[in-house]
Chain A
Amino acid sequence: MATLLAIGTAKGLFLATSTDDRRSWEITGPHFPMTGVYAVAVDTRRPTPRLLAGMTSSHFGPSVATSDDLGASWDEPDQAPVAFPADTGVSLGRVWQLMPAGPDEPDVIWAGTEPSALFKSTDGGRSFELVRSLWDHPHRPQWEAGFGGQAVHTVLPHPRDPARLLVAMSTGGVYRSEDAGATWAPGNTGIRAYFMPDEWPEFGQCVHKVARDAGNPERLYAQNHHGVYRSDDDGRTWSSIADGLPSDFGFPMVAHPGRGGMVWTFPLVADSERFPTDHRCRVFRSDDAGGKWEPLSVGLPEGPFYPAVLRDAMCADDSTPGGVYFGTRSGSVFASRDEGDSWSSVAAHLPDVLCVRAATV
């Protein structure tokens, strides 16, 4: 068995493989050079793992490609895999998220896009169809663009109930469906939007990332544009878990895939000062669902550290003990094979890291 770490960067996809239990890595790439790879997925539900990459050329537009040989070769359909229907009058900016559905739907892949929309594939990511119910939501005209663009950046299927699905967008916030995407309701109660006249709106929040707890699928964690929250009712209501963190600003939020209550994040000072807190390279971990947090920095760079970690540039693998990974806007990638207790370098001097995903293959 090997561990595959897919690293999407601003100028292509790099694939790191470890065959010695994540001690050392061999890296290939860039695949899709000179494209921004904002979304990548490793779909391990299939007999042969499938890699999916969402890449965008600044000249030649966005697309999605798949690989069934761990990146040795890639296949891109003739027809655009993700495209808006003609009647919408818009075109795809980029794919921000590729998310395999639960185990009961092995051919379903969800895609979150810019502009904010959700697409569904029922053929393993070869072709996608717009989820009209979310596109036609009456709130959509009021969803605004953040600095990174207006996008659905998070899609969270429910691990036990295919009818339940959660998306998060910036801005707009969290939306939930309990009928397989037929209808959607905002789920932002308790999340503050300090940048709006009404700081507690029904929707319009700038949620940066949402993660689902491994032990309790009703439990979710959210890193907001200022604010770190937990929901214990599948995203209906939220309460702050920011106490104990040096800042409530940041982008990623990663939950341990096999151990309930454990989450990681990478705080930045503030919206107006997007540097790591204390200008130090530190991951913060909670093992009690956000009740308390501890800094993790063993093996990470010492001294002043300024690069940020973007919303999808942190992930966990499915090994035991759990592996954690993050990449920086300065092109460094770090890995921990002990749930964050210690870290080592996987790669350095890559282009800006946009996303990482890891799995045993």
Chain B
Amino acid sequence: MVTVLLPGPLRGEAGGASRLSVAAIGTLRAVLDEMAVAHPRLARRIRDERGELRRYVNVFVDGEDCRHSGGLATPVSDGAEVQVLPSVAGG
């Protein structure tokens, strides 16, 4: 089981929850794929239709930016914490 922490702007797509428990481990891709089953609109805010992380969304696995640790192939172990954060962007 993995805990996914959601930022304020995305909580509306998860029934207001700030954290979700996702029954998948292995890679970040597997976690996000599993999350998409129950929360498809939340999932497409984070990844585009190719499955790529959106440019201005950052995902940290146990505090490490996934872009520096294997991207969607970043290993995620049981009990890990996956945090989704919008990057500092916009006008």
Question: A residues engaging B (CB < 8 A)?
Answer: 10, 34, 57-61, 63, 76, 78-80, 83-84, 86, 89-92
Contact B86 A78 (CB under 8 A): no
Task: Provide the residues of chain B in CB contact with A10, threshold 8 Å.
Answer: 91
CB of A59, distance to nearest CB on chain B (Å): 4
CB of A118, distance to nearest CB on chain B (Å): 17
Contact B87 A59 (CB under 8 A): yes
CB of B15, distance to nearest CB on chain A (Å): 13
Residue of A nearest to B44 (CB): A80
Contact A60 B49 (CB under 8 A): no
CA distance A80 to B41 in the complex (A): 8
Instruction: Please give me the 10 A-B residue pairs with the lowest Cβ-Cβ distance, nearest first.
Output: A91-B48, A60-B45, A83-B49, A78-B40, A59-B86, A59-B56, A58-B90, A91-B50, A80-B44, A91-B49
Residue of B nearest to A60 (CB): B45
Query: How many B residues touch the partner, as a band?
Result: 10 to 19
CA distance A57 to B41 in the complex (A): 13
CA distance A89 to B49 in the complex (A): 9
- Known contacts: A34-B90, A78-B40, A80-B44. The answer to whether A58 contacts B56 by CB under 8 A is yes
Tell me if B78 counts as interface (CB < 8 A to partner A). no
Interface 1/0 per residue, B48-91 and A, CB below 8 Å: 11101010110000000000000000000000000000110111
Known interface pairs A58-B56, A58-B90; 5 further A-B residue pairs with C-beta atoms within 8 A, sorted by A's residue number: A10-B91, A59-B45, A59-B86, A83-B49, A90-B50
Task: Provide the residues of chain A in CB contact with B10, threshold 8 Å.
Answer: 60
CA distance A358 to B87 in the complex (A): 36
Task: Provide the residues of chain A in CB contact with B86, threshold 8 Å.
Answer: 59-60
CA distance A86 to B47 in the complex (A): 13
CA distance A270 to B46 in the complex (A): 40
Task: Provide the residues of chain B in CB contact with A83, threshold 8 Å.
Answer: 49
Most buried by B among A34, A58, A90: A58
CA distance A354 to B66 in the complex (A): 35
Contact A59 B40 (CB under 8 A): no
Question: B residues engaging A (CB < 8 A)?
Answer: 9-10, 40-41, 44-46, 48-50, 52, 54, 56-57, 86-87, 89-91
Task: Provide the residues of chain B in CB contact with A79, threshold 8 Å.
Answer: 40
Residue of A nearest to B90 (CB): A58
13 inter-chain pairs at a CB distance below 8 angstroms, sorted by A residue, are: A58-B90, A59-B45, A60-B9, A60-B46, A60-B54, A61-B44, A61-B54, A76-B41, A78-B40, A80-B49, A83-B49, A86-B50, A91-B48
Residue of B nearest to A82 (CB): B49
CB of B88, distance to nearest CB on chain A (Å): 10
Task: Provide the residues of chain A in CB contact with B48, threshold 8 Å.
Answer: 61, 91-92
Contact A61 B45 (CB under 8 A): yes
Contact A59 B41 (CB under 8 A): no
Residue of A nearest to B86 (CB): A59
Residue of A nearest to B39 (CB): A78
Residue of B nearest to A58 (CB): B90
CA distance A132 to B57 in the complex (A): 30
CB of A214, distance to nearest CB on chain B (Å): 38
Task: Provide the residues of chain A in CB contact with B89, threshold 8 Å.
Answer: 58-59
CB of A56, distance to nearest CB on chain B (Å): 11
CA distance A86 to B51 in the complex (A): 9
Task: Provide the residues of chain A in CB contact with B46, threshold 8 Å.
Answer: 60
Task: Provide the residues of chain A in CB contact with B49, threshold 8 Å.
Answer: 80, 83-84, 86, 91-92
Task: Provide the residues of chain B in CB contact with A91, threshold 8 Å.
Answer: 48-50, 52
Task: Provide the residues of chain B in CB contact with A86, threshold 8 Å.
Answer: 49-50
Contact A89 B41 (CB under 8 A): no
CB of A17, distance to nearest CB on chain B (Å): 26
Task: Provide the residues of chain B in CB contact with A63, threshold 8 Å.
Answer: 44
- Known contacts: A78-B40, A80-B44. The answer to whether A59 contacts B50 by CB under 8 A is no
Contact A60 B57 (CB under 8 A): yes
Residue of A nearest to B51 (CB): A86
